[in-house]
Structure 1
Amino acid sequence: MSRLLFHRKTAHFPRFSRSATRNLRKRIWTAILLLSALGGALAAVAPQAAAQPLSYRPIVFVHGFNSGPGVWSSMPTDGRLAYRFDYSNRTGPVGSVPSIEQLGKDLKEAIDKEHLLEKSPDGTIDIVAHSMGGLVARSYMKNEGGIEHVKHLVTLGTPNHGTVLAGLPPACSAQCKDMAPTSDFLRKLNGNRTDADETPKSRSHPGYPKYTTFRSNVGDEPVMYTNSRGTKTGLCDGVVFGVNANGAFDPIHAGDTPILRGAENTVTPCIAHSDYMTDTWTQQKTLDALTEPGDKFAPARGFTKCNDLSLAKGAGDWTQGWMQSCLETDTSHRVTPVIRVRGCGHWRTYISWWYYVPEGWGDNTKCNVNYLKATFTGPRGSQWITIPGASTDYMVSSRAFEVKLTNYQQTGPGRYSLENPQVGFYIWGWQDGGYNYARYESGRNVELDNSGLVTA
C-alpha cells in the first residue's frame, strides 16, 4: 500500500511571486465574468426565439412534375408563412430521378429541417400541392407519418388515380411510371379501388386532415370532337385526363382521376393544367379550404357549401350542362345563394355536332341561367327564390361560370338552407325546335351553419 500513498517529495508545484499571483487571479476572474455574461446573453436569446411561435399554421407548397417552386409566385397566402418545397432539379420525364415515394421522404426532411411543426401554433401544417406534388404530399402523409401533422391538404389537378399520358411514352422516368394508373405506387397509395374512403385520418387529431381536390375537367368531356368549326379537344386540363376515379383507362373522355373518395371534390372554371395557381377563383377557394369555423390558427375566411354536381339535360338530351346549387358565406355572415354551371353546351340536332359555349351552331352563343325555384331559409325567415324563364339577367359567354344571387342575400350568424333547388338554363343564340333548354329538377338540399365563423 505504501506505493499508492501520496508522497510529498514527488509533488512539484510551481511557485509564483505575489504580483504574478494577483495578475493570474485577475485574468481568471475576468474570464469567468466574460463567460458568465456570454452564457446569460445566449440563455436570454434562445428561449425568447423558441417562445414566439407563429400566429398561423404554415402553408407548405409542393410543385408538380418537371416544374419548380416559381409556379407559386402569384399564389396568395393570407399573410401566413409559406414554405415552397423545391425538387426542381430532381424531376423530369427521362433520366435518373427519384421516385415519388422518395420525394415524400425528402418532403419530410425539408419540413423537419425548417422546423415548421415547431413553429406552428398547433403543431400542424397545411399543404397545397399541384399535379404530381399532390402525390408527393400524400406519400409523405401515408408513408412518413405526415398524416399526424397535416391539418388540411389541397390538391390542384393531381392525378390521384393516374393519367393516360404517363402510360404512353415507351420509356419514361420513375416519376412518370409512378403516375401510370396501373403503377404499384398508386395501388399502394390508394389501397383497394372499391374503398368507400381514400382520405385516412390522424389518430392524434380526430377528423383531420381535411382533404380538398380541385379539377377543371368534370369528367365527361370528349378528348377530341368535330363540329362545323373544326376538330378540337373538349379538355380543360389537357395533362391529367383519360382515367376515372377507379383508376380505369378512359382514353375517349376526360375522366375524373383527381377525385378522392371522402374529400371535398370541387370543379373549377375551365382552366388549363398550368393555370390552377393563377386563376383567381381557384386561389380564393383554395385559401377557404385551409380553415373552417372556429379555427384560431388561420386567418378568418368565408366558406361555401354545395350539393352534388348534377347533369342537367334538355329534351332529347340535345342541351346539356352540369349544375350545382350552393350557399356561400363571408366573414361578415352574409350568406348568398350561388348557382354553378360547368360544361354548358349543345348538340346540333340530326347532325350530332357538339358545341361548347361560346361556340355554337349560331354565332355569339351564350349560356343563360333562366330557371330557378328554391326556398332559402335563414335565422330571419324563409323566402322563395325564382328566376323566370324569360330572364336574361344571368347570361354568360362561357361554358363554366357561377351566378351569385346577391339580391337574395341574408345576413347574420346561424343555420341556413336552400331547399329543393330546381335549376336550369338555355342556350341563347341557338334555336332548334325548342331543344335548347336543360333542367335539373331534384337538387339535394344545401345546408350551411356560419354561427362559429370568426369575423374578420
Structure 2
Amino acid sequence: MIARLLQFTTGLWLASVLGWLGWAFSRGRPLTAVLGALLLLSLHAVVLGLELLLHRHVSRHDGVTPAPLRALSRAWWTECVTGVRVFCWRQPFRYRSESDFLPPAGTSSGVLLIHGLVCNRGVWNSWLRTLRQRGIPVLAPSVEPPFGRIDTWVPTIDAAVRRLHAHTGGPVLIVAHSLGGIAVRAWLRQGGDAALVQRVFTIGSPHRGTWLARFGWSPNARQLRLDSPWLQALARHEAKTTPRVPFTCFFSDCDNVVFPPSVATLPGADNRLLRGWAHVDLLDAPEILETVLQCAAAPSPVPHADWRTGTASKP
C-alpha cells in the first residue's frame, strides 16, 4: 500500500513540475517557468527546514544539549537528499530489490528489521544487502495497515519473530526505526515471547511520543503524541514486567521528526546519542550498523554507553 501511495505522490510531484514548465514556456515566460519549477522541487526542503526550526525551539529546555545551527543546517541538507532517495525511489520502486535472507542455520543471530510510519521494507535496502553479504539471516516485512493503530502491527511482528527464531534456533535481534520501535514494545506487551529476543535496537523511536505528532491525523500518529495515555499505559505495563528484554536506543540531537531528543530514550535502556543525524538519515549511521553486526556475529552483552558522558557525532 505504501509503495503505491508513494508511486502516486512521486508521479504527481513530477507531473506538477513538468506541467508548470510546459504551461510557462508555452506562454513565453522562461524565467517564471524555471523559478516555479525550482519552488515545486524544493517544497520538501521547506517542510524539512520548518521541522528542524520547530525542533530547535521545542528542544531548547531538553536534557540533551541543543545542536548548533551549523549541525542542524547540515542535517537539513543531508535529509533533503536522503528523503528523495528513500521516499521517491527506494520505497515506491525498489522495495523488492533486496530479498530476505534465510541461509542454512549457522552461528549468527537472526535480525528482524521493522520500519516506521509511512514506510515499507525498502527503507532497509542497504541493511538487507550488508547483512546478506555477511551471511546473517534477516527478515524485513512491510507492516500494514500503515495508518491504523500501532497495536495492529503486532501479529506481523509476532509471525516474523517466530519464523526467524524457528530458522536459526536462537534468540532474535530486532532493529526498529521510528514507530517500529513502539510497535515492538506493543508486541511485547500483548504477549510477545521475550525469550525469543536477544536485544531490541531502536533508531529514532519516539518512546515518549513526539511534539510533532500533534499535527498527525491517523490513529497511530495520535498514539504518538507526547506522553499520550496509550504510551503512559505502555510504560506502566513495562515497569511491572520482569524480566525485561534489553533495549539499545539510538537517538539524535538533529532528528526532525522525533523531538525533543530525550523522548527517544527509555529508562534502564542503553541510550546512545548520535549527534548530527536527521530522522531517516539516521539509518545510515555506521555506528548503529556496526553495533548490530557485532552483536549478530558474536551474541554477547552489548557494552553499555551513557549518552550523558559519551556520544558519537556524524563525520
TM range (shorter): 0.5 to 0.7
Residue 147 (structure 1) aligned with residue 165 (structure 2): no
Could you tell me which residue of structure 1 aligns to residue 167 of structure 2? 119
**Helix, strand or coil for the counterpart of 2:136?**
coil
Asked which structure has the greater RCO (Cα within 8 Å, sep 6+), the reply is: 2
- Cα pair 2:270 2:304 within 8 Å, conserved: no
**Helix, strand or coil for the counterpart of 2:248?**
strand
Q: Return the alpha-carbon distance in structure 1 between the equivalents of residues 208 and 270 of structure 2.
A: 16
Sort the Cα spacing of 1:199 and 1:239 in 2 relative to 1 into closer, same or farther, 3 A. Answer: farther
- Cα pair 1:199 1:263 within 8 Å, conserved: no
**1:133 pairs with one of 180, 190, 193:** 180
Deviation readout 1:110-162 (Å, 9 max, x if unpaired): 444xx22211232x211000000001111112213232311110000000000
Give the letter for the 1:156 counterpart. Answer: I
**Helix, strand or coil for the counterpart of 1:277?**
helix
Deviation at 1:200, TM superposition (A): 4.7
**Equivalences for 1:82-93 in 2 at 5 Å?**
82-87=138-143, 90-91=145-146
Give the letter for the 1:59 counterpart. Answer: V
**Equivalences for 1:48-447 in 2 at 5 Å?**
53-75=105-127, 76-77=130-131, 78-87=134-143, 90-91=145-146, 97-112=147-162, 115-122=163-170, 124-169=171-216, 172-191=217-236, 200-202=241-243, 209-217=245-253, 236-241=254-259, 254-288=260-294, 290=295, 298-299=297-298, 304=303, 306=305, 309-310=308-309, 324=310, 340=311, 400=313
- Cα pair 2:161 2:196 within 8 Å, conserved: no
Deviation at 1:209, TM superposition (A): 2.4
Q: Return the alpha-carbon distance in structure 2 between the equivalents of residues 184 and 54 of structure 1.
A: 43
Deviation at 1:105, TM superposition (A): 2.5
Sort the Cα spacing of 1:262 and 1:199 in 2 relative to 1 into closer, same or farther, 3 A. Answer: farther
Deviation readout 1:21-72 (Å, 9 max, x if unpaired): xxxxxxxxxxxxxxxxxxxxxxxxxxxxxxx644322110000000111111
- Cα pair 1:98 1:175 within 8 Å, conserved: yes
Q: Figure out how many residues of one structure are paired with residues of the other and give that number.
A: 208
Percent identity (aligned): 23
- The structure richer in strand per residue is 1
If the length of structure 1 is used for normalisation, what is the TM-score?
0.42
Give the letter for the 1:73 counterpart. Answer: N
Give the letter for the 2:229 counterpart. Answer: D
**Helix, strand or coil for the counterpart of 1:256?**
helix
Gap runs ≥5 in structure 2: 1-103
Deviation readout 1:316-363 (Å, 9 max, x if unpaired): xxxxxxxx3xxxxxxxxxxxxxxx46xxxxxxxxxxxxxxxxxxxxxx
Deviation readout 1:251-279 (Å, 9 max, x if unpaired): xxx34001111110001131110012212
Q: Return the alpha-carbon distance in structure 1 between the equivalents of residues 155 and 231 of structure 2.
A: 16
- Cα pair 2:273 2:307 within 8 Å, conserved: no
Give the letter for the 2:135 counterpart. Answer: G
- Cα pair 1:239 1:273 within 8 Å, conserved: yes
If the length of structure 2 is used for normalisation, what is the TM-score?
0.59
Sort the Cα spacing of 1:259 and 1:174 in 2 relative to 1 into closer, same or farther, 3 A. Answer: same
Give the letter for the 1:145 counterpart. Answer: G
Sort the Cα spacing of 1:199 and 1:212 in 2 relative to 1 into closer, same or farther, 3 A. Answer: farther
Q: What's the Cα RMSD here? A: 2.8
Deviation at 1:300, TM superposition (A): 7.3
Deviation at 1:182, TM superposition (A): 3.9
Deviation readout 1:379-426 (Å, 9 max, x if unpaired): xxxxxxxxxxxxxxxxxxxxx369xxxxxxxxxxxxxxxxxxxxxxxx
Give the letter for the 1:104 counterpart. Answer: V
- The structure richer in helix per residue is 2
Q: Return the alpha-carbon distance in structure 2 between the equivalents of residues 182 and 300 of structure 1.
A: 34
Which of these two proteins has the greater Rg computed from alpha carbons? Answer: 1
Give the letter for the 2:148 counterpart. Answer: P
- Cα pair 1:240 1:273 within 8 Å, conserved: yes
- Cα pair 1:167 1:180 within 8 Å, conserved: yes
Deviation at 1:282, TM superposition (A): 2.7
Sort the Cα spacing of 1:304 and 1:106 in 2 relative to 1 into closer, same or farther, 3 A. Answer: closer
